[in-house]
Chain A
Amino acid sequence: MDSWRVAVLGDGDVGKTALAVQFTLNCFTYDPTIEDAYRKQIVVDNKMCFVEVIDTAGQEEYATLRDQWVREGQGFILVYSIASRSTFDRLGAFRQSMLRVKRLKPIFILVGNKCDKMHEREVSKEEGAALATSFGCTFVEASAKTAHNVEHLFTTLVRLLRSTKPSDAIPKTKPSAPRVAIEDRKPPSCRKCFIF
């Protein structure tokens, strides 16, 4: 059984907690002193797996912590609200953090949340899809309120994670090493053999 740690990133008030709560509905009792409060067991392609959700809600103002979130997560859900243009515009910073910290290409899904608020829509579905294409990721519009596409986006992310990391478990320490280390910028010739 594989385990995946998924971080939900995005601006404030886009519905990150709502997505996490909706996904873990019926198996969720909030008690911060209990581990795995956000853990859920699901079946994807006839294979059981655990998904642990890292909810970054409340930390939006702490930009310095973004690297830590990315270090802790294996897969990412990049969330914006279709009813708020500003949340859509600020997604670039989160993608930059992912690209900076992750050595390999980060696995993430772009999610336009609150799709039940059609009459308040500020970001069109086409814009979301275009941004996802430029990011090189999958795009889904979902609604945590109505549970529309919530299960789907997590199963899609698990499939993506499995396709890139066939068998993985939640590491005990840091999930990945830094992608770019300033002090490692040495010419490739340094890694060749020595000539005496």
Chain B
Amino acid sequence: MTYISTIGSASPDLKHIHFTAEVDTTKAKPKQEATAKSLLFPELNAATKDHIQSVFDMADQFRDLTANPHTAEMRAASEDFITFIEAILRGCIHLPVRMRSGPRFDLAFKGVVFSGSGFLQRVPSAESGPYFVDEVQVSLQWMYMTMASLRELLRVIQRLRDVPKPLPAIPPPDDESPLVLDYPASAIAEEDAMFEEEVALMLERPSTPVDVPVPPASPSTESSSPAATPHGVSFRIDSTCLATDVSALEASIEPVARGIVVKSSLKRLVLGVTRKRSRKALTLAMWSNASFSKSSTTIAPSPCLASFGGESPRTEAPVPPSAADSADPAFAPDKDETAAARDVYHGASRICAASLPGLVRLLTSKAAVTDARLNHLFFFSFRFFATAQEFVAALAERCSEGAPGGLAPGQIVCWEDDARVTKVRVAKVLLVWLRQYWRHAWHAEALDALRELVSSQRAADPKAASIWGQVAAQLAAASEDPTYRGCWAQKLSATSPPSPPPSPPLKFQLVTKDAIGKGAFQSVDALHFHTGTGREELARQLCLATSEMFCAIDPEDAVHFWKAGVDAGTGSCISRMSAFENALAYWVAGTIVGKPTVRSRAETMEFFLDLAARVLELRNYACACAISAGLGLIMSRLRETTSTISEAHRATAHRIETFFALHNRKAYRLSLAADQGPTVPLLATFKHDVDLAFTMRSHRAHPDFPEETLIDLDRYRVVARVIQSMETCRTPYRFQRVGYVHKWLRHVLDEFASKSSSESLYSLDEMR
């Protein structure tokens, strides 16, 4: 049994990121047996084997935690996970120097450092924010990437161990001659062949193991090239496992998975190179890294991993001076970045503005992790600044981008590889759009253009036919049903923390239940609920009533209604809810004023304060604010009654009023974003945000290119945040519905809902 397969069998839940998950030791070939034994370095195994086992255990534990995420536990698990990773990497110092000095080991080592640092930085620090679920998923993806990087490192160790002779000496540096010329053309071609095989593996996922030959070096280059490898040596890749790896990772973090499999992308990730270079040039730079004394990029590890800087074989990735300091003509120019500089304006911490092609370029960037926030921002708001047809046209243009002029033949090959990846990303974006954000009523105009794009791309790239086939199937489903909508909301609710089970009906029987049944509503007083269970039951029924009204409001429709005021259906739902809140406030005020004595008024006031505090605890902000407003109307009029209530109730009144203070709703907004689950938010706050968003400028000039007018994303970021926040709240309460309480509430509130606001205030003033 190989060292790595031992890990795999010990952690069956993580098969999708294992190199060789199932190896029968009894049937192991002599070659494999020898390899397994040869990998058992005393230095590495003695301390590191347990650490590797622990890493996989911790990964299992972390993954389980993401199902029901708690920040503290996730942070603790991630710290342990990184500690074991750190120990494994420290253990590599005991490997033979000839293994540690190779570029492949260096690359794989830095890959683990990079992904580990990224993972640690992305573990959510607080259980708050509308993006908490996304943050958890991203941290999980980074954990997978770290595991994949670790697997890659172990595989490299195994591969290097298989090499029967030491690597040849690295030639002395020669800064005067271009690197490309130092590297033999035959070796470049062989590297390309291997690369193509890996890409094919990634895209086609063959079901049978394949032997990928390590390219034999030509006799003329064997002694001089650092890339030379022994003749006839081949390593065996279990393609089933590799396919499983890629499939599992691709589903969650496809571009990063590709970065792991495709060497050039991983090298870019590890190096942190922002300026894209051609694959071969990077390969050469890595092969020849020992020959350069000048380094241009340094990985900035997380605090936990920072200690690795001095102990790893090489923590800095040397880059040829010609590549680091000036544009090397050997590198293919990156159209993505040159165009993005004009099309996208990056602020200090976010993208401030972009053109539509720039946004499409960001969405389909082949060098970045899929950004859920960018997806939300774009798909929730693009309808306000572009049509669906324009978006599809931009995607089609992205697919049909041609190679820049003046490329060498080798560079064209690299460019074609990248272009194929870009097209796959375009397909992924389409799939996300169709699955999660598509609305037939809004986007149907682009159906024909979409069909044309999908069919042309499907025919153009047979290797990517699978992903385009998925797009075509989703498109067919979306086009058939006029009521089709994306499933973002369902996805969100599926990943939300589970709600508590429905509570049984409280042991509360209204003494006048029969009276309500007979229609004698006037005989029922609000103070009949002034018991512990009574207040609880009334609070729950208020939550149910308002939640039903809120859940009937579609967030995207609401935003469009607030902006344009054209959707009558949504408008009526919103008006119904605001009328309910106004009526509730007037009912509270009217009930208190209608009491005959100061003592009874004070008692009623205390009852409503307790009720407001309870509905606030239940995250029914709409009712809490309405009751608070009703109490505010009264407390400014009945000073003697207000002075009679207890200090605790006065403090409660002050706390609730401060919580909903208009000049600063920071506390409310933080509370709204803190937890998910059943919530009835203040619609007025959302409407204010939408009003403000559409008061902001829609376009702005690029600071560096004043002639470029870009879409101001700050405006649409607010819109997307409103939609997402409203969507997050749309979870119904799971309380038992008590019909007679609703019947009574409807009766008492209808009396105030039928009056105008001035009538209600007038009657309030005249009641005393």
Contact = CB atoms under 8 A, between A and B. Distances in A.
- The answer to whether A and B come from one shared complex is yes
Interface of A: 5, 7, 17-18, 21, 30, 32-36, 38, 52, 54-59, 61-65, 67-69, 71-72, 93, 96, 100-101, 173, 178, 180-184
Contacts of B503: none
B754 to A, nearest CB: 14
A65 B625 CA distance: 9
Contact of A59 (B638, B662, B692, B696): B662
A38 B768 CA distance: 39
Contacts of A57: 687-688, 691-692
B542 interface: no
What bracket does the count of chain B residues touching chain A fall in?
35 or more
Given A54-B662, A55-B688, A69-B662, A62 B640 contact: no
Interface stretch (B1-9, B361-369, B577-585): B577-585
Contacts of B586: 64
Given A32-B666, A67-B636, A183-B638, 11 more contacts: A54-B662, A57-B688, A58-B689, A62-B582, A63-B757, A63-B758, A64-B757, A65-B629, A72-B663, A181-B640, A183-B768
Contact of A181 (B636, B665, B695, B757): B636
Nearest to A21: B695
Contact of A17 (B660, B669, B686, B688): B688
Contacts, number: 123
A61 B666 contact: no
B692 A182 contact: no
A33 B666 contact: yes
B632 A71 contact: yes
Given A55-B688, A93-B758, A64 B582 contact: yes
Contact of B695 (A18, A56, A61, A184): A18
Interface of B: 562, 575, 578, 581-582, 585-586, 589, 598, 625-626, 629-630, 632-633, 636-641, 654, 657, 660-666, 669-670, 684-692, 695-696, 714, 718, 757-758, 760-761, 765, 768
A64 B640 contact: no
A28 to B, nearest CB: 9
Nearest to A183: B640
B411 to A, nearest CB: 43
Nearest to A73: B663
Interface SS, A side: mixed
Contact of A183 (B641, B687, B690, B695): B641
Given A5-B663, A54-B663, A178 B636 contact: yes
A173 B578 CA distance: 27
Contact of B692 (A17, A64, A181): A17
B581 A62 contact: yes
B311 to A, nearest CB: 41
Contacts of A178: 636-637, 639
A72 B629 contact: no
Contacts of A101: 636
Among B582, B657, B664, B690, max chain A CB count under 10 A is at: B664
A183 to B, nearest CB: 4
Among A69, A93, A183, A184, max chain B CB count under 10 A is at: A183
- Across the A-B interface, give the 10 residue pairs with the lowest CB-CB distance, nearest first: A63-B757, A58-B688, A58-B687, A64-B585, A178-B636, A64-B629, A183-B640, A181-B639, A61-B578, A59-B684
